[in-house]
Structure 1
Amino acid sequence: MCLRKLKRFSLLFLFLFSLPIIIGQFPFPNNEMTTQKSKSERPHVVYAAAEPIVTVPEEPKIDPFNVLLMFTHSHESYKPIVKKTKGMQAVYDEEMNIFSLQEMMQHYLELNGLTPHIVDFDVMTEMKQVDATFHQAYKVARPVLAQYLEENEYELVIDFHRDSAPKKVTTLTANNEQYAKIAFVVGAEHPAYEANLAYATLLSEQVNSIVPGISRGIIKKSGTGVDGVYNQDLATNVLLIEFGGIDNTEEELQRTMAVLAQAIRVAFVESAV
Structure 2
Amino acid sequence: MNNGSAIARLTGVFTVCLLLLGYNVYGGLFKSAGGGIAAADTLSLSSAAESTATAEKTESLGESTPESTAENASSAESMAEEQSVPTAASGTVKGKIISNYISPYKAASSYGNIYLKNSSGLNIDLKQLAESPLKFKIEKSEAPQVLIMHTHTTETYMTENTDYYTDAFSSRTRDKAKNMVSIGDIVAAKLNAAGIKTLHDATEHDYPQYTGSYTRAAKTINGYLKKYPSIKVVLDLHRDAVSSGESDKVKLVTEINGKKAAQVMLVMGSQSGKTTNFPNWQENLKLAVKLQQTLETKFPTLARPISLTSSNYNESLTTGSLLIEFGTDANTLEEAQYSADMVGQALAELMNALT
User: Do the two structures share a fold, i.e. TM-score over 0.5?
Assistant: yes
In the alignment, is residue 117 of structure 1 matched against residue 194 of structure 2? Answer: no
C-alpha separation in 2, matches of 1:240 and 1:88: 29
* 1:163 CA drift (Å): 0.5
In the alignment, is residue 205 of structure 1 matched against residue 293 of structure 2? Answer: yes
Partner of 1:124, secondary structure, is: coil
- Name the amino acid aligned to 1:142: A
- Which of 175, 182, 195 pairs up with 2:264? 182
Partner of 1:107, secondary structure, is: helix
In the alignment, is residue 80 of structure 1 matched against residue 159 of structure 2? Answer: yes
- Which of 139, 159, 178 pairs up with 2:236? 159
Q: Per-residue CA shift, 1:170-221, capped at 9, x if unaligned?
A: 2111331111111011111322211111111110110111111111121112
Q: Could you tell me whether the CA contact under 8 Å between 2:153 and 2:181 is conserved in 1?
A: yes
Q: Could you tell me whether the CA contact under 8 Å between 1:74 and 1:99 is conserved in 2?
A: yes
C-alpha separation in 2, matches of 1:78 and 1:169: 10
Normalised by the length of structure 2, the TM-score is: 0.51
* 1:162 CA drift (Å): 0.7
- Name the amino acid aligned to 2:150: F
**Alignment of structure 1 residues 52-63 onto 2, 5 Å:** 62-63=140-141
Q: Could you tell me whether the CA contact under 8 Å between 1:82 and 1:89 is conserved in 2?
A: no
C-alpha separation in 2, matches of 1:99 and 1:258: 13
| Structure 1 unpaired stretches of 5+ | 1-60, 223-227
* Partner of residue 104, structure 1: 186
In the alignment, is residue 91 of structure 1 matched against residue 171 of structure 2? Answer: yes
Normalised by the length of structure 1, the TM-score is: 0.65
Q: 1:254 to 1:97 in 2, by over 3 A?
A: closer
Q: CA RMSD in A?
A: 2.6
Q: 1:256 to 1:112 in 2, by over 3 A?
A: farther
* Partner of residue 97, structure 2: none
**Which of 1 and 2 has greater Rg?**
1
* 1:168 CA drift (Å): 5.7
In the alignment, is residue 139 of structure 1 matched against residue 215 of structure 2? Answer: yes
- Which of 265, 268, 272 pairs up with 2:348? 265
* 1:82 CA drift (Å): 11
C-alpha separation in 2, matches of 1:169 and 1:82: 10
Partner of 1:251, secondary structure, is: helix
* Partner of residue 229, structure 1: 312
- Which of 320, 324, 336 pairs up with 1:241? 324
User: What's the % identity of the aligned pairs?
Assistant: 26
- Name the amino acid aligned to 2:197: T
Q: 1:191 to 1:155 in 2, by over 3 A?
A: closer
C-alpha separation in 2, matches of 1:62 and 1:141: 27
* Partner of residue 4, structure 1: none
Q: 1:264 to 1:230 in 2, by over 3 A?
A: same
C-alpha separation in 2, matches of 1:235 and 1:259: 24
- Name the amino acid aligned to 2:141: D
* Partner of residue 29, structure 2: none
* Partner of residue 333, structure 2: 250
* 1:142 CA drift (Å): 1.1
Moved more, 165-174 or 148-157: 165-174
| Structure 2 unpaired stretches of 5+ | 1-138, 244-248
Higher RCO structure (Cα 8 Å, ≥6 apart): 2
C-alpha separation in 2, matches of 1:203 and 1:260: 9
Partner of 1:212, secondary structure, is: coil
- Which of 142, 145, 148 pairs up with 1:66? 145
- Name the amino acid aligned to 1:246: D
Q: 1:219 to 1:150 in 2, by over 3 A?
A: same
Q: 1:159 to 1:62 in 2, by over 3 A?
A: closer
Partner of 1:199, secondary structure, is: helix
* 1:229 CA drift (Å): 0.6
Q: Per-residue CA shift, 1:46-66, capped at 9, x if unaligned?
A: xxxxxxxxxxxxxxx943572
- Name the amino acid aligned to 2:149: M
